[in-house]
Amino acid sequence: MAKKRSNGGAKQDIVKRVRTLYTIFILVGLCVAARLVWVQYFSPSVKHNAEVMKSGVRREQTIAAHRGAILSREGEPLALSSLRYHATFDFASEGIRNASSEDFEKEVGELSQLLADHFSKEDAAKNDYDYLTAQQYRDIFYKQRELGKGRAVKIFPRSVTLDEWNMFKREFPILNQSLGYVYDSEDIDERIYPSGDLARQIIGRNTPIIVEGDTILGSGIELLCNDYLSGHDGTVVEQRIAHGFWTRVNDPKNSLPEDGSNVVTTIDAGLQRMATERLREKLTAEEATYGVAMVMEVETGNILCMVNLSTGKVRGTNYNERTFNHALQTAMTPGSTFKLASAMALAELAGFNADTKVHITGKQMKVGLTDITDSHDLTRELGKEVCLRDAFAHSSNIYFAKGVFDNFGDKPEVYTQYLERIGFCSTVGLDAFGERRGSVPQPGTPELKRHGSIKISLPKMGYGYILEQPAIHMLTFYNGVANGGKMLAPRLVDRIERNGEVVERKPIVTLNERLCSEQTIATLHDCLEAAALRERSLGRFKTAPTSFGCKTGTAQIWNTFHSEATKDRKAMQKRYLNKDDAYYLGSVITVMPLEKPKYTIMVSIAKQKTDTHPTYFGITLTGDVASDIMEYIYTNDPTMHSTIEPAASPYSPKSIKAGNSADVGYVVERLAPYSKPSTEASAWSSAKLDSGGNAELSALTFEDGVVPNVKGMGLSDALYLLEHSGLSVKHTGYGRVTKQSVEAGTMLDGTINEITLTLE
């Protein structure tokens, strides 16, 4: 019985163990299944690795569209995109890895020296990168070879052109596959500027930059017209062939890029270039902080030129276009150029005309509660009753301060609101370029109160102080006056083109259909003409080639403004508390030709008055530059030149000079309708013309040893014959010979050595 129980117990024990094993197997199987499910569907690490593996074999790459060009109005490229290349080296390739030490040293040594020579110190300074010596290039090659795994390394310090790249592949070791194919190239669509800094503030940039931690988006036309310029990118699928190296494959996802359109600006590249160089010369000579030069087309608003030059960190050096757009973004006290706006307000609101007089007592006079000073005493030349025309020409602060205060002192808002109505408190349509609003403080506002009471501030506003305006506002206003009172918005973009066809033409925008009455416009034109005549009488604008109207301005600057110069920044930190820190804005605005204005020109320069550079008057600072711009415009605009009208009937000469037969025959053939040639062949001929202009040629013969008859000849032929005869010749007058002091046929016996000719 005990034996049976023992057998039964063993059997049960085996069953239990089997069941336990089955249970373990089942549990393990369930765990494995659960793990598989987890790995397949839920594991983030596995999912990440799978994606890495997938992307490690194939990837989608964007093919950037070729960005459109920005062109001048004549089609000269101001900014365009061009393919550039970077060589990407595979330092773990077989060619590098299997090369002997001797071969590697030879190839790398030669390549390093060639790279150092090509990417020279001058090239590094020009393209803003760090120069590397031949030894530094060599160290890079050896270090990367030792790393082995450090593949796909760029060693060019900058992108290279197609010509450079092709030359490298022909002549440089390793690049010419001397160690096998060990590199790849990366195409880059790089923005280039064929004319350097020319018009860079207008062109702007299409990429954001980081300034003191803040992201600043693009600017200028690059940003404004980005949708047109950028085009549409394409897509390509690539397959990995080595670490860091990929090749394109056929795939339905592949698509070609659509290149961007071209933007045609209103800028005249030649004028922009000339104004830039002329302004740079003046700024350098005056050690100025910045300068602006602009030209606006009267009937269209086209900006033909907008130059913004700012000094570098050392004031007086490195003037460039990259720093700041002072024409649009710097609002300054305009000074006397604003007197045209005050004259318009006085004419429209107070009934002034060019002959309206204001009583002035001398060079200095109290107006309201402030003392106003003129640059010179008008009363000595004009008397105490000064008219608007003369006050404008002489730039009298007293006249405009008194005129504005006497007429608007009890209702200043009438004056300030009128200025607002004609656009001095708004923008002129260039907001996308960062244009700053003009400022005319209104009565009762804290902005005006900080300048004192109305009896102090209003007289100063009359001659262009207290208020602040960007240069573009003053140019636009004067252009409106030149355009008969119709003020147009400045235009910088004319049209969008694709493949030579116009896609879109930007419209001409009117800001103010009528600034004032025709009578007021006539008054303002009288004032502009009088100012130009006075400037000419003082010896300025001596080379101006045509009639013009103008106004100059000189304003002391109290507000801060942008400058890279250390001197300027220190002075502005002190807020000009020292008299030696006096800054001035000198300006001139001209319209030409005065009879029918076609162009408005503005030049302004901001500078500190110093002992070494004391000049600060507007005409002295800017007159030469404006005069040169006017001369350039006149020379290059054929519509401003007189034309020759065709004659009602063909021209027939009254007489033809005698002389060399070939020359006489040439003239007769072209000018005389009918001619009868001489029957005798001779080297010299004369021509006789009848009343109908018909010519008959006669041969001239001369005997040796006698004085020839040179009457009727030109001076060159007469000189030849007489000097050939041994005579010394004197002559007076010009034209043809009418008299000779020694008669023809006189024997030359040695007693006659000199002859005098009279030409008429």
The predicted-structure confidence for 60-115, as pLDDT tens digits, reads as follows 777 777 889 999 999 999 998 888 888 777 777 777 777 788 888 888 888 889 99
DSSP 553: E
Question: Are 266 and 494 spatial neighbours (Cβ–Cβ below 8 Å)?
Answer: yes
Cα torsion through 275, 276, 277, 282, rounded to 10: 80
Say which amino acid occupies 466. I
Crossing angle of the two packed helices 518-537 and 339-350, in degrees rounded to 10: 140
Q: Where are the alpha helices (DSSP H) in 38-67?
A: 44-57
> SS3 sequence, 348-401?
HHHCCCCCCEEECCCCEEEECCEEEECCCCCHHHHCCEEEHHHHHHCCCHHHHH
Both structure tokens of 647: 């004659």
Q: What is the DSSP string of 228-273?
A: HHH-B-EEEEEEEEETTEEEE---TT-B--BPPPEEEES--HHHHH
Exposure letters 126-152 (e unless 16+ CB within 10 A, then b) = eeeeeebebeebbebbeebbeeeebbb
* Integer CA distances (angstroms), 244 to 145, 150, 182, 339, in order: 15, 10, 12, 68
Give 521's contacts (C-beta < 8 A, 6+ positions apart). 481, 484, 485
Q: Which two tokens stand for residue 623?
A: 């007159």
Give pLDDT < 50 ranges for the chain: 1-3, 577
Query: How far is 272 from 199, CA to CA, in rounded Å?
Result: 7
User: CA–CA distance from 206 to each of 24, 162, 226, 397 (Å)?
Assistant: 68, 24, 7, 45
CA dist 177 and 288 (Å) reads 55
Cα atoms in the 13 Å half-sphere on the side-chain side of 251? 16
Instruction: For strands 695-700 and 675-676, give the pairing.
Output: parallel
Phi and psi at residue 90, to the nearest 5°: -105, 95
Angle between helical axes of 397-408 and 339-350 (0-180°, round to 10):
40
Q: How many Cα atoms within 13 Å fall on the side-chain side of residue 186?
A: 16
Contacts of 433 (CB under 8 A, 6+ apart): 202, 204, 219, 220, 224, 325, 328, 492
Is the sign of the CA dihedral 245, 249, 255, 258 positive or negative?
positive
Query: Measured in whole angstroms, how far is the alpha carbon of residue 343 from the centre of its chain?
Result: 33
Q: Do residues 156 and 34 touch, judged by C-beta distance below 8 A? A: no
Q: What is the DSSP annotation of 115-172?
A: HHHHS-HHHHHHHT-----HHHHHHHHHHHHHHSS--SEE--SS-B-HHHHHHHHHHS
Which CATH number is correct for 61-232+241-262, 3.30.40, 1.10.10, 1.25.40, 3.90.1310? 3.90.1310
What is the rounded distance in angstroms from the CA atom of residue 458 to the CA atom of residue 204?
39
Name beta bridge partners: 733. 759
Q: Are 374 and 363 in contact (CB under 8 A)?
A: yes
> Residue 69: how many CB atoms within 10 A of its CB?
22
| In the chain, domain spans | 2-57, 61-232+241-262, 269-490+512-638, 659-759
- Triad 9, 14, 15: Cα angle to 5°: 95
Looking up tokens 């007197």 gives 339
Q: Which CATH architecture has domain 269-490+512-638?
A: 3-Layer(aba) Sandwich (3.40)
Question: What pTM was estimated for this model as a whole?
Answer: 0.75
Tokens of 125: 């300074």
